Structure 1
Amino acid sequence: MVIEIVRIGQRLVRDDRVTTHVALVSRAFGAQRIFMTEVNPEIKDTLEKINKTWGGDFVVEFIDKWKTIVKKKKEENFKIVHLSMYGENINDVQENLRKEENLLVVVGAEKVPREIYELADYNVGVGSQPHSEISALAILLDRIQKGVQFEKEFPNAKRKIIPTKNGKNVLVKETRD
């Protein structure tokens, strides 16, 4: 399954950290790419540093218009999943989502345009109470992949966490530059 994310909008200053966390969750929970509009370019630098240290080839791509990428991905046979508190309950749609080959998950910041509800193949809610888009994305990605995203190794990692009951254990691979 190919999973990509598009982040629509950003509340200036306030959302730099939130958008960074949306990208970090996307990467850690198995997405291959995130498209972002209206963001601080330092977010891309942060994710590139994470890839270099912790491995992987997650891609951050800046776009001008969310609608262009959504329509392009629809043409490429991606199903569009819009995360919304007002969507169908994830418990009711997760089985269908697991059957899809390509997903583009839309994560809004501020109020999203009405049009996204109509362009989406799935409008999905993870709960009916106010919550963060970061938690909603993590829950969605985990539910549709059943946790297997955590079993994969990130290629070219210089550091790897070794699970331990107490304390911290990080394997640091020697590199010769």
Structure 2
Amino acid sequence: MRVVVLRLGHRPERDKRITTHIGLVSRAFGAEEMLLVGRDPAVKASLDDVADRWGGDFRVVESVRWKDEVRDFREAGGRVVHLTMYGSRLGDVLDEVRRSPQVMVVVGAEKVPAQLYGLADWNVAVGNQPHSEVAALAIFLDRLWNGAELEEGFESRFPGQIRVVPTARGKLVLQHGDGSSGGGGP
């Protein structure tokens, strides 16, 4: 399944950190790209740097027009999930979403245009209470993949220059290419 995340309503002066985290979660939890409505070179550069150093083919595309992206995605056979606390329960729609070959996950920031609720194939709530859009995206993607994105190991999906070796205590970081490793206590 191909997954793309559309970040809607990004405000560069307010949302840099949250949008960067949306991108980090998107990449780590199996999305191929993040489409960013608006332009923020700092967010793009940060996420490009992570993909370059840590590995993977994750892309960030800036300055997209959300209606065009949603329309084009649907015309190409994809389905659109809008994450909102007002939507259907995640568990009620998940099996149907999993049958889609391509999924666009829309994550809002500021007030989401009412039109999106009608254009989305599913308006999905991780919980019907106020919560973080970063948490909602992580939970949605984890449930979508049944946790497999975490179980198969990042090194097989992201053969990058940097790799963390899981340890019970301390830190073990391998730097590929220069033969160095870093470590230390917590």
TM-score band by shorter chain is over 0.9
The answer (yes or no) to whether the contact 1:82–1:117 under 8 Å persists in 2 is yes
8 Å contact 1:54–1:154 — kept in the other structure?
no
Q: Is the 8 A contact 1:80 1:106 kept in 2?
A: yes
Which residue number in structure 2 is paired with residue 117 of structure 1? 117
Structure 2 counterpart of 1:97: 97
Distance in 1 between the 2:23 and 2:50 partners?
11
Partner of 1:163: 166
| Alignment match, 2:67 | 67
Distance between the aligned counterparts of 2:99 and 2:178, measured in 1? 40
Contact 1:89 1:126 in 2 (8 A): yes
CA distance in 2 between counterparts of 1:156 and 1:104 reads: 25
Give the match for residue 106 of structure 2: 106
- Give the 3-state SS of the residue equivalent to 1:14 in structure 2: helix
| 1:46-71 CA-partner distances (Å, limit 9, x unpaired) | 11110111000101001341000000
In structure 2, the residue matched to 1:148 is 148
The 5 A counterparts of 1:1-177 are 1-150=1-150, 151-152=152-153, 153-175=156-178
**Residue type matched to 1:113 in 2?**
P
- Whole-angstrom distance in 1 between the partners of 2:50 and 2:64: 24
Match of 2:182 in 1: none
Instruction: Give the TM-score normalised by structure 1.
Output: 0.94
Post-superposition, which runs of at least 4 consecutive aligned residues in structure 1 deviate over 6 A?
A: none
Q: State whether residues 55 and 161 of structure 2, in contact with CA within 8 Å, keep that contact through their aligned partners in structure 1.
A: yes
- Larger RCO of the pair (alpha carbons < 8 Å, separation 6+): 1
Report the alpha carbon displacement of residue 42 of structure 1 after superposing the two structures with TM: 1.1
The one-letter amino acid paired with 1:154 is: R
Identity of aligned residues (%): 44
Number of aligned residues: 176
Unaligned runs of 5+ in 1: none
Q: What's the TM-score, normalizing by structure 2?
A: 0.90
RMSD (CA atoms): 1.4
